[in-house]
Amino acid sequence: MKTINISCRSGNSIIAFGELPELIRVYLPSERIVVVTDSNIYKYYKHLFKTISFDYIENSNVPFDEDTSIGNNDSSETNLITDKIIEIPAGEDSKSFETIEYIINKFIEFGVDRSYFILGFGGGVVCDITGFAASIFHRGLRFGFIPTTLLAQVDASIGGKNGINFNNIKNVCGIIRQPEYILSDYRTLQTLEQSEFENGLSEIIKTALVADSELYDIIEAFSDISNLQMLEQIIFRTAMAKAKIVESDETETGLRKILNFGHTFGHAVESIAKISHGRAVGIGMIKALELSVKLNNLDPEILIRVKKLLIKFNLPYEIEIDQKPLIDKILKDKKKESDKMNFILLDKIGKARIKEISIREISNNPEFC
């Protein structure tokens, strides 16, 4: 088991990497847990919640085999993870006030009080929603995550950003509050489709570009996505890079802004074109690199290298989209401050800078789209 500790003003967070049964035993409370998950995750892991004891989990491969039948186990009614499950629809559309209302109603139905621990078990959407719901119910419950997608393990579960979308604007409502634990087992990635691996790789590339040039070299040499042991090393290094940034600037007043590299344009594309977050961020990174070449004297060869890397991992780097709605979305982005927008530009691989650009300049120049 390996761990990363994040110490922040809103609380401390532990990211633990290992095998899920051991992580559950060490970190999760033995009772008074509510699990929030989605319909995709629940079909793979429902046996963890209602019928399997910790002892049984330790001696089986059940968490990673949806077809395994546990039969009648004599100890199955003791030491349960929980029988209080909140299942939400899978997908980005669940990041809404309607879903939050549903979850809070379930909290009330379950008799949840401030002694409960709320566990988000799933991908980035589940983590965002769980953290937000837990943070506003009874003015703040303890919560943590078991991230089951690559994107969630390297990005969405880390850093305390919890929120939802509103009026088709990404993450415009939310709170920064740290999960107590993030329990990460790379074996949960075995259930992912190829496209979900690609989504996560986009965020890994982003983190490497702004914060870790050696990680970028490792990714550039990485070719076999099915090599989960190699991927585990990349996940840990990416999480470590993000954790350091978050610890130094939890509330995103300075350095943490660099983690938004590619996201201003990417979030707009994601909302309009209805493509996945990782694919939209890939397109957004190329736009940010093009601006970095023009406005920040970035070596154009880096732009070429990143395009080749995105192609290798089957990620898009451009899209046909109308300029007017794109500009409208960009100008509603939460990174807007007064009459300026913070854009993240690259100096070189592993080093980024924050550049304020006026709203007028963005509106009048098609190069920003």
Active-site annotation holds for 267: yes
Active-site annotation holds for 242: yes
HEC string of 224-289 equals CCCCHHHHHHHHHHHHHHHHHHHHHCCCCCCHHHHHHCCHHHHHHHHHHHCCCHHHHHHHHHHHHH
DSSP conformational letter for 53: B
User: How far is it, in rounded angstroms, from Cα 305 to Cα 230?
Assistant: 22
Catalytic residue among 47, 267, 279, 329: 267
Active-site annotation holds for 263: yes
Catalytic residue among 242, 257, 287, 329: 242
Catalytic residue among 106, 161, 206, 329: 161
Active-site annotation holds for 252: yes
User: In 3D, which of 121, 134, 139, 137 has the Cα closest to residue 160?
Assistant: 134
- SS3 state at 337: strand
- Which residues have a Cβ under 8 Å from the Cβ of 109 and sit 6 or more positions away? none
Phi, psi torsion values for 284, nearest 5 degrees: -65, -35
Q: How far is CA 215 from CA 4, 157, 206, in A?
A: 17, 20, 10
Active-site annotation holds for 5: no
Catalytic residue among 40, 162, 165, 260: 260
Catalytic residue among 142, 170, 206, 263: 263
Catalytic residue among 198, 232, 250, 252: 252
Catalytic residue among 203, 232, 250, 270: 203
Catalytic residue among 277, 279, 287, 329: 277
User: Based on C-alpha coordinates, what's the Rg of the chain?
Assistant: 21
Active-site annotation holds for 260: yes
Active-site annotation holds for 356: no
Catalytic residue among 9, 72, 139, 324: 139
Catalytic residue among 106, 256, 279, 329: 256
Active-site annotation holds for 256: yes
End-to-end CA separation in angstroms for the chain: 44
Residues with catalytic roles: 139, 161, 203, 242, 252, 256, 260, 263, 267, 277
